[in-house]
Structures are given as C-alpha cells and as structure tokens.
Amino acid sequence: FVVTMFWSIYIYDRELVYPKLLDNFIPAWLNHGMHTTVLPFVLIEMRTTHHQYPSRSCGLAAVCTFSVGYILWVCWIHHVTGVWVYPLLEHLSPGVKIMFFAAVTVIINIFYLVGEVLNNYIWDTQK
C-alpha cells in the first residue's frame, strides 16, 4: 500500500506527499528505504513465510481497525499542530477528505485480500 500510494502521488505531484524541502533533511536513500524497499521485503517474506490468516471477517476487521486508527492519528496530529502529515490533505475539503479516507481503507482491504489469495496460491493451502 505504501509503495503504491506514495509513488503514485509522488509521480503526479511530489509536493503533495514529499515536498522538495525534505530533500535538505532526508537523504534520497532514506526516502527509498521508507517508500520503496518495503515492497521487495514484503515479496520475500511472502515467499519464505507461510502465514496463517484468521477468518476473513476477523482479518478485514483488524485491517479496518488499523486503518481507522491511523487516520485518527493523522487527524490528531493536525488538530494538535495545525499541520497535515501528508500535504495532500491540505488541498482536500472536509467532505473529500472523508471520501479519500474511505477509499484508502477500501484499497487497504483489497490489498489484504490479494495478500491472502497470493499466500494461498504460493503455499497451496486453498481448499
């Protein structure tokens, strides 16, 4: 999810997720460490570790809980500091923010389901 969302928005307009100002404080290798190298490590883990998924409803509930918790944390940071962690959020109206957060939660759930399907395919555990 991080790789997909970050780099999609970065390619569209980097200032929305990673302003040029950050280049003065965060070296390029660290940016890639946070937003790129996650993917190969996830793929390696998927291939080397058989994951036991909970029931689909419990798994999706856990993913939704994490997603809502993260969104609330991002909103709390804005409430306390007056600054959005992700500059993209500055450009969205309150209604569009709600739709964005809902869409992000749906996308995360889709990635969870894709991970479950790939895990079952790789480890041949589908019944």
Q: Which residues contact 22 (CB under 8 A, 6 or more apart)?
A: 31
pLDDT for residue 126 is more than 70 = no
**Segment 100-113 mean pLDDT:** 96
Q: Determine the pLDDT at residue 10.
A: 92
Position 124 confidence tier, pLDDT thresholds 50, 70, 90:
confident
Predicted TM-score of the model (pTM): 0.83
pLDDT above 90: residue 109: yes
pLDDT over 90 (residue 64): yes
**Burial group, residue 82, by CB count within 10 angstroms (0-12, 13-18, 19+):** exposed
Chain-wide mean pLDDT for the chain? 93
Per the model's pLDDT, the better-predicted residue between 124 and 47 turns out to be: 47
